[in-house]
Amino acid sequence: MAIHSSNLGYPRIGEQREWKKALESFWNGQLEEANLMETMKTIQLSSIKKQMAKGIELIPIGDFSLYDHVLDTAFMFGYIPKRFGQESERRWDTYFAMARGTSSQPAMAMTKWFNTNYHYIVPELDGLQPRLMENFLLRDYQFIKDNLSIETKPVLLGPVTFLILAKLSTGVHWHKHLQLLVPVYIELLDELYRAGVRWVQVDEPILVQEIDEDIVAAVEYVYHSFYQKVPGVQLILQTYFESLSNYPEIVSLPVAGFGLDFVHDDGENLYNMKKYGFPKGKWLAAGMIDGRNVWKSTLVQKAALLEELSKYTEHLIIQPSSSLLYVPITVKHERRLAKGLVDSLAFADEKLDEVRLLAEYAQGKRSLSDLRHYDEQTGEALGLLRGQPIKKTIQPIEQTERPPYAKRRQAQQQHLKLPLLPTTTIGSFPQTREVRQARLKRKKQEWDEKQYQTFIRKQIAKWIEIQEKLELDVLVHGEFERTDMVEFFGEKLGGIACTTNGWVQSYGSRCVRPPIIFGDVVHLCPITVEESVYAQSLTEKPVKGMLTGPVTLYNWSFVRRDLPRSAVLNQLALAVRQEVLALEQAGIRIIQVDEPALREGLPLKRQKQPAYWQEAVYAFRLATSAVRLETQIHTHMCYSDFSEMIDIIDDLDPDVISIEAARSGGELLSLFEIHTYRKQIGLGVYDIHSPRIPSRDEILIQLERALRVLRPDQFWVNPDCGLKTRTEKEAIASLQAMVAAAKEMRNRLFVSLQGGDQDDSKR
């Protein structure tokens, strides 16, 4: 039996986040382009060398990027929106302008990559003709070959997935571009083949969603075209995140092999192999090691699965279930975690060790007892770490039903006395170098707790004063004590551990350290009350209490696998509920429970989605439903497909929801032409992920569009998201423009109302 070990993709950020630091230095003008490129080459070579040392035979290229692999694909094929001009000698300025915007042009839209926390740049296709500007894969292939003398496996986003995820004008179908794009893909593949490439991984994750006959026909057209024009290239048609849909049709395509996920497929891929068989002579690239969680694999179970798979193919590639982009790089720097926990974890490097162990077992180089010894060490460590589960959180919990929204709204308005079109921010303010240095001094014990808390209070007082001067209506304390909205709570809740260096890319250069839920989650003491109460003491205006919701805590953490999702969600919801009630008891009148990751855990198969939504809605309402009538509950969501979840948002039953809308060009507004939403809503009126500062008139245009479909008495004015990644200058200038636009719109509405009253009196 022919066996290969392979990897689908490796984290690009560098073991010490060298990638992030180089990018941000370049953007800030502190690093020349030549130095940036040299640093990036060093990081890329280091990643390849690691995979070589781990014994991986099919090592990917094309997974490394200066920002995002979907943006790379669009840029490589010439899909550069006209507002950014034509590609020039300073091409990377154009590339980063597409991702981040410029002083005069907004960035391209950004959204979640399937059901992950990774954000991709949405390609724009309108009015553009594809062409191969530069074959990035050929460039990387030759660079690695010249420096390391090895053959690599180029990884390419497939044309069907690329086009379906891209942005088109209303009424324009992606098929229009397929006929144009396929020849460009063929040109790229032909160049690779003539350079000596034999294996190419073509990612088509869209094929794990429900697909209609139209998509199946498009896929058949694409891969038959590839086979006819470049038959010498061995294509692996790669899927991940769930089971392959339309299995019989897809596995009959003329490619060398098929990559299937045997971790997150709920057993469906193996079921389909048993029912329909697997094409003779084709390679099965089996995703055996979980690419999205950090727990070590149970290799004896994987060995049993390998034995089963070997009944259907004699050509087997053993690999992770997906790219390793979604996990940290290595556990070797995690010296502060409990030993039992560390011994139970496998980050990217350790997962490659597991791939090698399984491949060596399949090749007859290791025995089953070797795998059993590996599993026993993991099981013993984890067994010592976990106590008995909290029984009450596994059973359904009675939640308190809130009074009807209309009754709440009346009580809240009497209590809060907010103006029409109230202005606010989402929560965080700039985490400056000074803030980061203060946190580091505390970590190194150069400052004691009193010194650190004094510093935090000064920052809160400074920004309460700034918000007062800006004349915002609902203020926030700024979250200066928080490194990250999930990690901060993970550090303070029982049953959750936080890493030292477990960084994962979220979008652009933004990296997060997802906590690890290893035990039963419990609320140990008040977490946010002190800062919120202090901020409220400085102003007569309401200050929002800021919490992270249970579903986001779940989806942005690495979760334990031995409890059902609902049990862990309920534990998190009860912990958040206790914090909500603590804030309310301390006099906080508005409490925001953010759920930006509400949709991320949603299964990609529609028939599995209702159960997820039921559990998610239950958890949010469990966390928020016990407050008094006059306490206003807010939530915030961003970078998701809201068209499919507007009814779910209503079911959550918040009083106010804020949603990202600026990058999408206000397209979200079309939803409210179809669906009537009766509660209060804030659509983000400017993009905080771009350094550009919007003008008052730009924001007025956003408000005008919003108020065509939403009532003025239900609309809030706020940015897209938190402001922690912006500079103080950018944050203040943008908020000045936002408040000015809100005031102007209030004046227009007042004049309009007065005119209407006069007309009525004449009648």
Q: Provide the β-strand partners of residue 422.
A: none
Q: Is 446 annotated as a binding residue?
A: no
Q: Is 351 annotated as a binding residue?
A: no
Residue 283 burial (10 A CB sphere; 0-12, 13-18, 19+): buried
Helices 433-443 and 449-470: angle between axes, nearest 10 degrees: 160
How far, in Å, CA of 504 to CA of 487, rounded?
12
Query: Which contiguous run of DSSP H or E holds residue 405?
Result: helix 405-416
User: Which one, of 266, 244, 205, 118, lies nearest residue 565 by Cα?
Assistant: 266
- Size (the chain), residues: 763
Q: Provide the β-strand partners of residue 632.
A: 590
User: Which one, of 758, 745, 686, 755, lies nearest residue 712 by Cα?
Assistant: 745
Q: Is 18 annotated as a binding residue?
A: yes
Q: Is 479 annotated as a binding residue?
A: yes
Pairing status of strand 110-112 against strand 119-121: antiparallel
Q: Is 525 annotated as a binding residue?
A: no
**Looking at residue 469, what DSSP letter applies?**
H
Helices 136-148 and 175-195: angle between axes, nearest 10 degrees: 20
Query: In sequence order, what DSSP letters do the residues of 312-358 get, joined into one string?
Result: T-SEEEEEESS-GGGS-S-STT--SS-HHHHTTB--HHHHHHHHHHH
Q: Is 689 a residue of the active site?
A: yes
Q: Is 112 annotated as a binding residue?
A: yes
Query: Which contiguous run of DSSP H or E holds residue 2?
Result: strand 2-5
Which of the following is catalytic: 69, 523, 634, 689?
689
Neighbouring CB atoms inside 10 A of 370's CB total 14
The single-letter code of the amino acid at 445 is Q
How far, in Å, CA of 480 to CA of 459, rounded?
7
Query: Which contiguous run of DSSP H or E holds residue 689?
Result: none
User: Which one, of 309, 232, 375, 253, lies nearest residue 3 by Cα?
Assistant: 309
The values of phi and psi at residue 624, to 5°, are -120, -5
- Strand ordering across the sheet containing 680-683: 544-548, 590-594, 632-637, 656-659, 680-683, 715-716
Q: Which residues lie below 8 Å from residue 738, measured CB to CB, with a gap of 6+?
A: 423, 685, 686, 694, 699, 717, 718, 719
Q: Is 532 annotated as a binding residue?
A: no
Structure token digits, residue 659: 């949603």
Neighbouring CB atoms inside 10 A of 253's CB total 18
Neighbouring CB atoms inside 10 A of 576's CB total 28
User: Are 550 and 572 spatial neighbours (Cβ–Cβ below 8 Å)?
Assistant: yes
User: Are 184 and 162 spatial neighbours (Cβ–Cβ below 8 Å)?
Assistant: no
SS3 657: strand
Q: Is 660 annotated as a binding residue?
A: yes
Q: Is 468 annotated as a binding residue?
A: no
User: Are 649 and 642 spatial neighbours (Cβ–Cβ below 8 Å)?
Assistant: yes
> Helix/strand/coil (H, E, C) string of 564-581?
CHHHHHHHHHHHHHHHHH
Q: Is 510 annotated as a binding residue?
A: yes
Q: Is 17 annotated as a binding residue?
A: yes
User: Are 523 and 537 spatial neighbours (Cβ–Cβ below 8 Å)?
Assistant: no
Q: Is 392 annotated as a binding residue?
A: no
User: Are 486 and 552 spatial neighbours (Cβ–Cβ below 8 Å)?
Assistant: yes
How far, in Å, CA of 4 to CA of 318, rounded?
6
How far, in Å, CA of 45 to CA of 33, rounded?
18
Structure token digits, residue 212: 């209609």
Helix, strand, coil percentages for the chain (3-state, nearest 5) = 45, 15, 40
Q: Is 556 annotated as a binding residue?
A: yes
Q: Provide the β-strand partners of residue 58.
A: 6
How far, in Å, CA of 45 to CA of 49, rounded?
6
SS3 504: strand
User: Which one, of 724, 743, 690, 145, lies nearest residue 429 by Cα?
Assistant: 724
Q: Is 427 annotated as a binding residue?
A: yes
Neighbouring CB atoms inside 10 A of 683's CB total 26
- Annotation: binding site: 17-20, 112, 117, 426-428, 479, 510-511, 556, 594, 600, 636, 638, 651, 660, 721
- Annotation: binding site for L-methionine: 426-428, 479, 594
- Annotation: binding site for 5-methyltetrahydropteroyltri-L-glutamate: 17-20, 112, 117, 510-511, 556, 600
Q: Which residues are catalytic?
A: 689
- Annotation: binding site for Zn(2+): 636, 638, 651, 660, 721
